[in-house]
Amino acid sequence: MSAIDPVGASATPTQPGRARIDLWLAFILLAGGLLRLHLAMTTPYYHDEKEIHIRVAKSISFSTDNLNLPLRGLNHPALVGYVIKASSALFGSSRLGYRVMHLLAGLFTILLVFRITNQWYGPPAARWAAALLAFNEYHIGVSGIATSHAPHLLSVVLAVYAFQRFLGTRRVAYLYGAGVAAGMAFYVKEHSVLLLGAFLLTLFRAEHRTWLRSWHPYLACGLFLVLIAPDVAWNLDGSRDAARATVAFVDGPQATYADHLARVGSIGFSPYPLAFFGRDTFVWLYELTTGSQFRDAIAEYRSMNSLLGVLLLGGVVAMAWRPPVAGGIRGFLLMLFWVVLGFFLCVRPGEQSRLDSVSWSWVDMSLLPSAILAGVWLSAANTNRRIAVRIAVCAAMLYAALRAVS
């Protein structure tokens, strides 16, 4: 078992030994699960749930007499509909029944974040990372409703888990697993293709560059393309234009890649994604500095409180300044964070159409690496300043929990 640098990374991940129950993790999962259960039981349906995803789920039929297995929903591929279909089949067609699988997806995401962090940085960092996700208003909110966000984040963290295992073990099976998981994430939200950019850029780092001289990274990308080929073919099939006008489970045209690209106006700095890390403060600053009203197309979704958002961003910046350690995954996590956030910061909104041109939730994939990096930062050696930061983090997470039950 390798020694762990609390502020850098171990040269190789710690090898899993005898299974043990981490009591802090058990508490985090229990408390986080109860918060999500409360929200799932008490929150009225969101528009996206009732008008899109549940209607897609209801339209799915495995009966040979009325077979209907839609590839796409209204705006995105239809994988979320199958998740909701399974949830209602197992737990009933009540409001809670439709949402249980999303609640479980949220908890499993927290568990995988703990496992990734624990393998490279040890239990203290893993507990902080899991807590930063478990007691985060945004993740609590999307884990308690039947929309695309919780299955998407679970698919993304599965891809991240597989890729970091590849970096640690150098077993190519994990690289292909990352390609499969990224393809699954694509069938929830198309911008998951950014995962491939983060993976490939990580392989350009000196310690991994030799892999670029092998066929495996390119074959893994090819596997991803094979998996999404049916959806690409659907989008390129011009004869389907008439069929897209109306479908059985939705009112209006189904969105294509072209519709989503039309949401991009031009290349240039756009501050909107920063609202993800604290919408209330961002809106105040935006309206103060621009004199115009901030238009929030997804105002019904919960945003993390600004203190927690600043602490997550601060953890990322602090870890970026640490001396590099060969063989670790800090470089990969930073790459993933900046590929996702940087891409959307460089995209200006397009003309308003049926699809919202701007949404701060587009960058929610960045929550996963930022939680891990901030967890590592918080677990570093004790100083008076870091103790104060930890108190602030605990206060922010407590506030998030109170908001979730209010």
* Distance from chain centroid for Cα 247: 29
Instruction: List for the chain the helix, strand, coil content (%; round to 5).
Output: 65, 5, 30
Q: Give residue 259's pLDDT.
A: 80
Over range 310-331, report the average pLDDT: 83
pLDDT of residue 235 exceeding 90, the answer is no
Q: Give residue 381's pLDDT.
A: 61
Q: Give residue 5's pLDDT.
A: 47
Which stretch, 46-50, 160-164, 267-271, has highest mean pLDDT?
A: 160-164
pLDDT tens digit sequence for 199-212: 999 999 888 999 99
pLDDT of residue 242 exceeding 50, the answer is no
pLDDT of residue 197 exceeding 70, the answer is yes
Q: Give residue 304's pLDDT.
A: 92
pLDDT tens digit sequence for 123-145: 999 999 999 999 999 999 999 99
Residue with tokens 């974040």: 113
252 part of a folded domain: no
Which stretch, 240-244, 287-291, 320-324, has highest mean pLDDT?
A: 287-291
Phi, psi angle pair for 18, to nearest 5°:
-65, 130
* Full residue range of the structural domain in which residue 321 is found: 23-232+259-405
253 part of a folded domain: no
Q: Output the CA torsion sign for 239, 240, 246, 252.
A: negative
pLDDT of residue 348 exceeding 70, the answer is yes
113 part of a folded domain: yes
Average pLDDT, the chain: 87
pTM of the shown model: 0.91
205 part of a folded domain: yes
Q: Give residue 247's pLDDT.
A: 52
Q: Which helix (H) or strand (E) holds 279?
A: helix 279-290
173 part of a folded domain: yes
167 part of a folded domain: yes
Q: Give residue 327's pLDDT.
A: 56
9 part of a folded domain: no
Number of domains in the chain: 1
Instruction: Enumerate residues 6+ apart whose C-beta is below 8 A from 348.
Output: 264, 265, 266, 267, 268, 269, 270
Contact 32, 107 (CB under 8 A): yes
Over range 81-88, report the average pLDDT: 96
Give the confidence band of 159 by pLDDT, cuts at 50, 70, 90: very high
**Selection from 299, 304, 310, 307 nearest residue 358 by Cα:** 299
278 part of a folded domain: yes
Residue with tokens 């390798």: 2
Between 92-96, 158-162, 215-219, 266-270, the lowest mean confidence (pLDDT) is in: 266-270
Q: Which residues pair with 266 in a beta bridge?
A: 348
Q: Percentage of residues in the chain with pLDDT exceeding 70?
A: 87
Q: Percentage of residues in the chain with pLDDT exceeding 90?
A: 62
C-alpha Rg value of the chain to the nearest Å: 21
Q: Give residue 333's pLDDT.
A: 96
